[in-house]
């Protein structure tokens, strides 16, 4: 089956890709730096959503050097809204390491790339194959879908065993000397034809070799064990204002989730607490101030990979104490018009949008 599939990939899939590939900004000028940034962005969002982020990022940091010498806050600001902020922090650190230890040149082997923070086997294979034409096969969600359908593969794809087996399969199918095209063609097929719910098998260049298609039930693949239910948490957050009309924001600690990003202070509701009591306690613990809560502003519903959250947000005023960073890295009083100069997570950006909307309504 593998030699037959390999022949079909060479004779059908690669020509199909040459004819049908979508135009993407990172495909035009292919440098290791551009491939690296685009691959990291594509690991967390779709092509159409990643494209404006990519343009913005490249405009602000056109070279590895400009990224390495930027502040972390600037890098997080350019990543704002993409999620998985540890990737942005690692990207920044890795750029500094490349400047300091590799003379500003991207390392050319998978082993040396994988020593950089945040570069795993997927990213190394993508950069290696696309920028240096190394024989490395990429295994992402799209490739996994195509492979499991092509071979009617029935193991749970979340398991380590399956990941290893599928990586081996991809390695064996790889067209040596043309790894970049092979990887991109597999990913493109998964993204545009071999779709999760409605695969367009009648238009697929691999349908004659596809066991999933021949079974008549291609969507039975990939097989995934049912997901465990993820926890749901309730959070209270405060928009604390002072007499000057400034707003208090806090910077999350580097070691915490969303580390380095700014937020409206608050935290997780504890058993038996009202949201207002939660906000009062959290502000005391985080910034050492006592607050009086006021009007309700917004409830932000947000889903992270490992939990979902309702964040109830209220206005508040300090009744005693001066802020100091206890359970946060830093804090600032900021004019509402300057709030967006700091980097935030998506959930806090919703709060800013609602604040701006209310201000506009009042003016």
Positions touching ligand SF4 (CB under 6 A) are 146, 149-150, 193-194, 199, 201, 204, 206-207, 210, 212-213, 218
Question: In angstroms, what is the minimal distance from the CB of 192 to ligand SF4?
Answer: 10
Question: In angstroms, what is the minimal distance from the CB of 117 to ligand SF4?
Answer: 35
How far apart, in whole angstroms, are the C-alpha atoms of residue 181 and residue 223?
Answer: 27
Which of 19, 39, 285, 360 is an active site residue? 39
Concerning whether 39 is annotated as a catalytic residue, the answer is yes
Indicate the SS3 state at residue 250: strand
How far apart, in whole angstroms, are the C-alpha atoms of residue 276 and residue 267?
Answer: 11
Diameter over CA atoms, the chain:
75
Instruction: For residue 81, give the nearest of 348, 351, 354, 298 by alpha carbon.
Output: 348
How far apart, in whole angstroms, are the C-alpha atoms of residue 237 and residue 283?
Answer: 9
How far apart, in whole angstroms, are the C-alpha atoms of residue 287 and residue 103?
Answer: 42
Task: Give CA angle at 218 (217, 221), nearest 5°.
Answer: 110
- In 278-314, which positions are buried (b, 16+ CB within 10 angstroms) versus exposed (e)? bbbbbbeebbebebebeeebbebeeebeeeebebbbb
**CB neighbour class for 122 (10 Å; exposed up to 12, middle 13-18, buried from 19):** middle
Question: In angstroms, what is the minimal distance from the CB of 25 to ligand SF4?
Answer: 27
CA distances from 301 to 232, 272, 298 (A): 10, 21, 10
Nearer to ligand SF4, 143 or 279 (CB): 143
Question: In angstroms, what is the minimal distance from the CB of 211 to ligand SF4?
Answer: 8
Nearer to ligand SF4, 144 or 206 (CB): 206
Question: In angstroms, what is the minimal distance from the CB of 205 to ligand SF4?
Answer: 8
Question: In angstroms, what is the minimal distance from the CB of 143 to ligand SF4?
Answer: 11
Nearer to ligand SF4, 20 or 49 (CB): 20
- Write out the H or E segment, with its range, that includes residue 282: helix 275-287
How far apart, in whole angstroms, are the C-alpha atoms of residue 178 and residue 170?
Answer: 13
Nearer to ligand SF4, 212 or 236 (CB): 212
Q: Which two tokens stand for residue 336?
A: 């509402």
Nearer to ligand SF4, 171 or 220 (CB): 220
Question: In angstroms, what is the minimal distance from the CB of 353 to ligand SF4?
Answer: 39
Strands 308-320 and 232-240: parallel
DSSP β-bridge partners for residue 308: 232, 303
CB atoms within 10 A of CB 232: 11
Nearer to ligand SF4, 107 or 218 (CB): 218
Nearer to ligand SF4, 86 or 215 (CB): 215
Indicate which residues carry an active-site annotation.
Answer: 39
């Amino acid at each position: 089956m593998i030699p037959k599939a390999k022949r079909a990939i060479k004779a059908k899939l690669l020509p199909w890709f040459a004819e049908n590939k979508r135009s993407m900004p990172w495909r035009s000028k292919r440098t290791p730096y551009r491939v690296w940034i685009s691959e990291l962005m594509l690991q967390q969002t779709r092509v159409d959503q990643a494209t404006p982020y990519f343009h913005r990022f490249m405009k602000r940091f056109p070279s590895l050097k400009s990224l390495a010498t930027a502040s972390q806050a600037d890098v997080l600001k350019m990543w704002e809204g993409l999620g998985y902020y540890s990737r942005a922090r690692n990207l920044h650190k890795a750029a500094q390491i490349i400047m300091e230890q590799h003379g500003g040149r991207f390392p050319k082997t998978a082993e040396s790339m994988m020593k950089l923070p945040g570069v795993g086997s997927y990213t190394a294979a993508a950069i290696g194959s696309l920028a240096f034409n190394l024989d490395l096969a990429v295994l992402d969600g799209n490739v996994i879908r195509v492979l499991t359908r092509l071979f009617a593969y029935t193991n749970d794809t979340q398991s380590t065993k399956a990941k290893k087996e599928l990586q081996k399969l991809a390695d064996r199918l790889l067209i040596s000397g043309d790894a970049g095209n092979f990887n991109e063609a597999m990913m493109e097929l998964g993204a545009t034809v071999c779709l999760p719910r409605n695969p367009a098998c009648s238009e697929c260049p691999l349908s004659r070799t596809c066991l999933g298609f021949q079974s008549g039930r291609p969507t039975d693949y990939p097989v995934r064990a049912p997901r465990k239910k993820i926890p749901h948490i309730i959070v209270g957050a405060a928009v604390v204002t002072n007499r000057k009309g400034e707003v208090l924001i806090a910077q999350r600690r580097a070691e915490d989730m969303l580390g380095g990003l700014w937020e409206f202070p608050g935290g997780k509701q504890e058993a038996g607490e009202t949201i207002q009591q939660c906000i009062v306690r959290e502000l005391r613990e985080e910034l050492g101030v006592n607050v009086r809560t006021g009007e309700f502003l917004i409830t932000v519903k947000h889903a992270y990979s490992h939990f979902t959250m309702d964040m109830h947000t209220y206005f508040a005023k300090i009744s005693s104490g001066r802020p100091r960073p206890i359970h946060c890295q830093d804090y600032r009083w900021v004019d509402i018009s300057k709030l967006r100069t700091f980097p935030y997570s998506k959930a806090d950006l919703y709060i800013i949008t609602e604040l701006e909307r209310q201000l506009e309504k009042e003016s």
